[in-house]
Structure 1
Amino acid sequence: MKPTELLSIIIPFHNEQEVIKECQQRISEAVKTIDMQVEMLYVNDGSKDKTLAILIELMQQDERIKIIDLSRNFGKEIAMTAGLDEAKGDAVVVIDADLQDPPELIVEMIKAWHEGFDVVYAKRIERKGENFFKKFTAHLFYKLINKISDHEIPENVGDFRLMSRQAVDALNQVRERKRFMKGLFSWIGFPQTAIEYSRDPRLAGETNWNYKELIKFAIEGISSFTQEPLRLATYAGFITALGAFGLGLFYIIKTLLFGEAIQGFPTLITVILFFSGVQLLSIGILGEYIGHMFIESKQRPLYFIKKTYTVKLDD
């Protein structure tokens, strides 16, 4: 008898031609011992190299593969969303293509799922192939966002995880355009547990996440899950205004009592620059939130699918 449960495995691909075949082989080996039917949802996120051609070649060799070819590069968060929308599994695994996260952990994830957990995430206890600065800034980001956010996001946890059908259905109801998936995975709730592992260096190719993209990602994550920066801007404005009022009162009294020669140009410039900096910072924070509102108000679709490839060549 065929297994009745279905496992969906989602992998976003963007210019990953160097790792695709090894990734497919590792995943195929990992699921051999799993007593479940398997579908592999490979999302091509606007790749410019041979990624799509290689995926089609692999699909012709393995009928479990389904390729979702997006109309352009929408970004990893949206590519994962497209895969989650298409996944039919009782359990759904999201994993990156670069094999830094070992597919072999899927077996342990399924065991934890059968024990009653709706979300089983992989937590890194070691991050090989990453320099000190990247590790330090990542640690600082999670400390900051968990300090100011109402929902705790596990540290040293990426997108590699298993979710139950119930958790996926809940996540698919959240259609915000600016998507910080690590936060959304945590926000939906449901029983969650961690599996620890050592993260390997990237198998081949180069990451699409440079420092500019990581900073942008961090800002979006913070502004998506907490209003605390707005409150901080308000506090800073109140404190500086109070200080300015006190300083102004001091100079008025001093001038009335003792007079004042024309001097203090450096002090004046320092004060002007300080208050200008506070104002610009506050405007920038406000702009981030207004930008989110602007994007959400347009209600554009999250993505467009150019074509769906299966062995039966169904569109």
Structure 2
Amino acid sequence: MPRLTVVVPAYNESAVLTTFHERLSSVLDQLPLTCDVLYVDDGSRDDTWAIMQSLAVADPRVGTLKLSRNFGKEAALTAGLDHVDADAAVVIDADLQDPPEVIPQLVEQWQAGYDVVYATRSGRAGETGLKRFTAAAFYRTMEALSEVAVPRDTGDFRLLSRRALNALSQLRERQRFMKGLFAWIGYRQTAVKYMRDPRLAGKTKWNYWRLTQFAIEGITSFSSAPLKLATWTGSAASVLAFLFGLKVLLKALWRGDPVPGYPSLMVVILFLGGIQLLALGVIGEYLGRNYNETKQRPLYFIEEEHLPTARTPIHTEATPRR
């Protein structure tokens, strides 16, 4: 019988983790597959790890990974996927905004021959209008700028076949935008529509500052458009400055008008200076990512590892051997 592993990265999710596992277990019990669950604690500061351990004691299908510190969701997700040796894996968050009851639909499409089955949100309940607007703007900007077709309104909630997991494991870049990586590997992909629920309990870890950084990460990881934009903006500014200077010169020659003084000079200097700083900032973003890649640091370190009893440990480049 095919085996399915559900990977659940979590950071400070003690308020919802038990309820999540109850709903997930009900779904897995109905699947015609051998199923297990791998919880990844991304350096939580609450009782998340203790609850994971209690779930593992009560349910032999549960395995747990504890990272040595908070490496971020992308690294925690990578750690979980690195430890999957099943025929397929489902990625889902623990906050119950992505309902586990959608998993059978993902499995159905996988069994129909698809390697990546991603869950696309048809609605986002419990979120403000501003949050929905910025999310829609981000996905459409990525669609316009990215060299890879990243699906609209789609998070990390999806199913990956064994072939897709093997391909993804070869992508070891440090600046990770998982939604882009899922799309970049290719293979047969399809969508399943679902309604996203409000967060059941606890607080979101994604404020607008972190979301902005995440958007910059995604755009710079899968598009060189900002660099091209800086080039074209600089070129346009140079043309405008040249035309303005030519206009001033012609007025002085033909009409004898005095050359505009301090105000005009300051406008030109500030305009060109702003364009230059913007271009340097864009270049700095790409240069910083290259710098991080050249250091070749591991993506994560594991402090504790407890896999389901039916499985044997999988040692990766970032997993300490015992």
Secondary structure (helix, strand or coil) at the match of 1:269 reads: helix
Structure-to-structure mapping, 1:125-164, within 5 angstroms: 125-164=122-161
Query: In the alignment, which residue of structure 1 is the partner of 2:7?
Result: 10
Q: CA deviation at 1:282?
A: 0.6
- Supply the RMSD in Å over aligned alpha carbons: 1.5
Query: In the alignment, which residue of structure 2 is the partner of 1:180?
Result: 177
Q: CA deviation at 1:163?
A: 0.6
Q: Is the 8 A contact 1:63 1:310 kept in 2?
A: no
Greater alpha carbon shift after TM alignment, 235-244 vs 302-311:
302-311
Secondary structure (helix, strand or coil) at the match of 1:240 reads: helix
Q: CA deviation at 1:263?
A: 4.1
Query: In the alignment, which residue of structure 2 is the partner of 1:240?
Result: 237
CA distance in 2, matches of 1:169, 1:310: 20
CA distance in 2, matches of 1:15, 1:282: 38
What per-residue deviation string (whole Å, max 9, x for no partner) do you get for residues 99-120 of structure 1?
0111111111111101000011
Q: How many residues of Structure 1 are paired with residues of Structure 2 in the alignment? A: 312
Please state if 1:165 is matched with 2:162: yes
Query: Equivalent of 1:35, from 32, 38, 41?
Result: 32
Q: CA deviation at 1:164?
A: 0.3
CA distance in 2, matches of 1:224, 1:126: 27
Please state if 1:301 is matched with 2:298: yes
Q: CA deviation at 1:151?
A: 1.2
Query: In the alignment, which residue of structure 2 is the partner of 1:103?
Result: 100
Q: CA deviation at 1:264?
A: 4.1
Query: In the alignment, which residue of structure 2 is the partner of 1:68?
Result: 65
Q: CA deviation at 1:262?
A: 6.0
For structure 1, which runs of at least 5 residues remain unmatched after alignment?
A: none
CA distance in 2, matches of 1:146, 1:89: 32
What per-residue deviation string (whole Å, max 9, x for no partner) do you get for residues 131-158 of structure 1?
0111111111111111111211111111
Greater alpha carbon shift after TM alignment, 149-158 vs 18-27:
149-158
What per-residue deviation string (whole Å, max 9, x for no partner) do you get for residues 32-77 of structure 1?
1112111211000000001101111111011111111000000001
CA distance in 1, matches of 2:126, 2:181: 27
What per-residue deviation string (whole Å, max 9, x for no partner) do you get for residues 214-269 of structure 1?
00000000000000110010011111112212222222232233334364433322
Q: Is the 8 A contact 2:56 2:63 kept in 1?
A: yes
Q: CA deviation at 1:272?
A: 1.8
Query: In the alignment, which residue of structure 1 is the partner of 2:317?
Result: none
Secondary structure (helix, strand or coil) at the match of 2:173 reads: coil
CA distance in 2, matches of 1:240, 1:258: 27
Q: Is the 8 A contact 1:15 1:49 kept in 2?
A: yes
Q: CA deviation at 1:97?
A: 0.3
For structure 2, which runs of at least 5 residues remain unmatched after alignment?
A: 314-321
